[in-house]
């Protein structure tokens, strides 16, 4: 799995960090998404996919 | 109910698209039709008053999924066809195209339509903002104009006022309430938002109603309750939205400020609702609730789909929502009753960087962050654990 983020679309909701804290973080200054793992291990794939589904700004894409 | 062979989702926006995708993700393999009244591919609405109006995004960037994603999931898209009637006994839906389609399972996600003033909407230059076509038309008018009056200082109106100001227009924001966004957030945050708008050059006419729109053919001014007339090349009416339930009249489905649902988002046998149109019993707060926010569209679409497939799980979220205006990103989680006491827990309102807690009966029922996203995320657990 490969994860892509669109910081321009991100609204800093933090849903992704709540769903997959090992894959995503937020910048301190403005809360924008930070991608920690571009290719998450299999154990984290479901969480990363859930994060993409929950993102209210469609700022996360996962390619399998 | 028995096994599902054909599910129809009415309403092709965020809630409807999420519902359809979740049905597939959860293993539903039967027929799946997604009905939408607009002709364009389903798109996302929050950017309309922000990036699309300001021109930083092309409207195409708001499209939720590429066309191929629907075929890939076996979702039959029926765009440009509004639902016009529901027959619960025969389990059929009438469409504006004259067709009638049957269902075993139905999810209603028809959202809301913009409220309008009782006058003036026939004048050129008078707009509402709900659809991408609305946004493109409003932006076109703004680019040709020098002044705009925005009627309504809620989320949509205050965001649109900020976007119009960024385009260089002379902007006046009018609302009968004394402060912008005072109903959701209270006096202190409302005052801070008012201050931000004034600093950025937006003229505020608060505590003032609108009594008339003037002009012949095209709008030229807005008449206020204090007798003054504001000159205006363009008027945006942003006075809220009403659930799009007209097509359910006479169907027997319970409708009262939205489709009334139980805790599982179920409105009748085999009929569920999700998103802005759904008024469901939220066990987290112990009452009926209708939420017009983006995050709810996704979460409730997922919940309705799973429950239609038999999960029977109560939908009990705390609402999350946000607004972007000028350099302010305000995020909120929970509920914000008028009687709640607001306490600044981190940062300061004057610095425009803070997190506030809203307390009712000694419990944190809502948390609000202003340009403090990480702290707000951490404090969300206070709302959860207090329930």
Digit-coded pLDDT (tens) for B275-291: 999 999 999 889 999 99
Mutate to test the interface with B, among A11, A21, A34 (most CBs of B within 10 A): A11
B376 neighbourhood in chain A, CB within 8 Å: 14, 31
B377 neighbourhood in chain A, CB within 8 Å: 14, 17-18, 26, 31
What pLDDT, on the 0 to 100 scale, is given for residue A61? 96
Are A12 and B18 inside 8 Å of each other by CB? no
B21 neighbourhood in chain A, CB within 8 Å: 53
What pLDDT, on the 0 to 100 scale, is given for residue B386? 54
A28 neighbourhood in chain B, CB within 8 Å: 374
Out of A26, A54, A58, closest to residue B373 by CB: A26
Digit-coded pLDDT (tens) for B166-194: 999 999 999 999 999 999 999 999 999 99
Are B329 and A53 inside 8 Å of each other by CB? no
Are A30 and B18 inside 8 Å of each other by CB? no
Tokens 């000028």 sit at which residue? B326
Element (H, E) at B282: strand B278-282
- The pTM score is 0.96
What pLDDT, on the 0 to 100 scale, is given for residue B1? 47
Query: Tokens for B25?
Result: 């993700």
Please provide the size of chain B in residues. Answer: 387
Half-sphere exposure of B8 (CA within 13 A, CB side): 20
Give the ipTM: 0.92
A32 neighbourhood in chain B, CB within 8 Å: 373
**Rounded CA gap, A2 and B135, in Å?**
34
Whether the pLDDT of residue B335 is over 60: the answer is yes
The size of the A-B interface in CB pairs under 8 A is 58
State in Å, rounded, how far the first CA of chain A is from the last one. 4
**Rounded CA gap, B281 and B68, in Å?**
36
Among residues A50, A58, A41, which one has the least CA distance to residue A19?
A50
Out of A27, A30, A56, closest to residue B295 by CB: A56
What pLDDT, on the 0 to 100 scale, is given for residue A64? 85
Q: Which domains does chain A have, with CATH numbers?
A: 2-63 (3.30.70.20)
B327 neighbourhood in chain A, CB within 8 Å: none
Whether the pLDDT of residue B3 is over 70: the answer is yes
B46 neighbourhood in chain A, CB within 8 Å: 11, 56-57
**Rounded CA gap, B302 and B86, in Å?**
23
Half-sphere exposure of B157 (CA within 13 A, CB side): 32
Whether the pLDDT of residue B195 is over 70: the answer is yes
State in Å, rounded, how far the first CA of chain B is from the last one. 33
**Rounded CA gap, B362 and B369, in Å?**
20
- Residues of chain B with pLDDT > 70: what percent? 99
Digit-coded pLDDT (tens) for A8-54: 999 999 999 999 999 999 998 899 999 999 999 999 999 999 999 99
A59: left (phi over 0), alpha (psi -120 to 50) or beta: alpha
3-state secondary structure B202-264: CEEEECCCEEEEEEECEEEEEEECCCCEEECCEEEECCCEEECCHHHCCCCCCECCCEEECCC
**Rounded CA gap, B18 and A49, in Å?**
14
Find out whether B243 and B277 touch, Cβ atoms under 8 Å. yes
Are A53 and B324 inside 8 Å of each other by CB? no
Are B329 and A57 inside 8 Å of each other by CB? no
For A:7-26, CB contacts with B below 8 A are: 9, 11-15, 17-18, 26
**Rounded CA gap, B1 and B165, in Å?**
54
For A:28-47, CB contacts with B below 8 A are: 28, 30-32
Q: Which domains does chain B have, with CATH numbers?
A: 6-113+242-308 (3.50.50.60), 116-239 (3.50.50.60), 327-386 (3.30.390.30)
Out of A13, A27, A57, closest to residue B331 by CB: A13
**Rounded CA gap, B92 and B98, in Å?**
12
Digit-coded pLDDT (tens) for B302-330: 999 999 999 999 999 999 999 999 999 99
Å between B81 CA and nearest CA of chain A: 26
A30 neighbourhood in chain B, CB within 8 Å: 329, 371, 373
Q: Is A32 helix (H, G, I), strand (E, B) or coil?
A: coil
**Rounded CA gap, B28 and B24, in Å?**
5
Digit-coded pLDDT (tens) for B139-153: 999 999 999 999 999
DSSP string, B148-172: EEEE--SHHHHHHHHHHHHTT-EEE
């Amino acid at each position: 799995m490969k994860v892509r983020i669109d910081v321009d679309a991100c609204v800093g909701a933090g849903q992704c960090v709540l769903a997959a804290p090992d894959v995503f973080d937020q910048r301190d200054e403005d809360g924008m998404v930070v991608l920690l793992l571009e290719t998450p291990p299999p154990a984290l794939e479901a969480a990363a996919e859930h994060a993409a589904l929950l993102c209210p700004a469609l700022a996360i894409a996962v390619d399998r | 109910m028995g096994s599902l062979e054909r599910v129809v989702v009415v309403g092709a926006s965020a809630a409807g698209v999420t519902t359809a995708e979740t049905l597939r993700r959860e293993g539903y393999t039967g027929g799946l039709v997604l009905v939408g009244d607009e002709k364009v591919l389903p798109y996302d609405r929050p950017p309309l008053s922000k990036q699309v109006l300001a021109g930083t995004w092309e409207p195409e960037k708001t499209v939720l999924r590429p066309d191929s994603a629907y075929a890939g999931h076996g979702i039959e898209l029926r765009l440009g066809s509004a639902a016009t009637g529901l027959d619960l006994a025969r389990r059929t839906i009438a469409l504006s195209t004259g067709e009638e389609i049957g269902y075993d399972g139905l999810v209603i996600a028809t959202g809301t339509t913009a409220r309008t003033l009782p006058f003036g909407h026939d004048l050129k230059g008078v707009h509402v903002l709900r659809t991408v076509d609305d946004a493109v038309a409003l932006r076109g008018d703004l680019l040709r104009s020098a002044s705009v009056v925005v009627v309504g200082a809620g989320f949509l109106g205050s965001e649109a006022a900020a976007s119009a100001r960024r385009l260089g227009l002379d902007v006046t924001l009018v609302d009968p309430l004394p402060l912008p966004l005072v109903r959701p957030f209270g006096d202190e945050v409302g005052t801070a938002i008012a201050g931000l708008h004034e600093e950025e050059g937006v003229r505020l006419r608060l505590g003032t109603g609108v009594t008339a729109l003037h002009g012949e053919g095209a709008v030229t001014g807005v008449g206020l309750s204090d007798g003054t007339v504001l000159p205006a090349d363009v008027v945006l009416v942003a006075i809220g939205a009403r659930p799009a339930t007209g097509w359910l009249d006479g169907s027997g489905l319970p409708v009262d400020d939205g489709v009334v649902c139980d805790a599982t988002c179920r409105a009748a046998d085999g009929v569920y609702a999700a998103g802005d149109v759904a008024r469901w019993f939220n066990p987290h707060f112990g009452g009926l609730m209708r939420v017009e926010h983006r995050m709810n569209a996704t979460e409730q679409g997922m919940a309705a789909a799973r429950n239609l497939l038999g999960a029977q799980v109560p939908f009990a979220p705390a609402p999350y929502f946000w607004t972007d205006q000028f350099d302010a990103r305000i995020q909120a989680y929970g509920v914000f009753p008028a009687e709640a006491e607001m306490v600044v827990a981190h940062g300061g309102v004057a610095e425009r960087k803070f997190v506030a807690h809203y307390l009712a009966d000694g419990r944190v029922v809502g948390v609000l962050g202003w340009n403090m996203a990480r702290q707000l995320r951490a404090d969300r657990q206070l709302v959860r654990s207090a329930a």
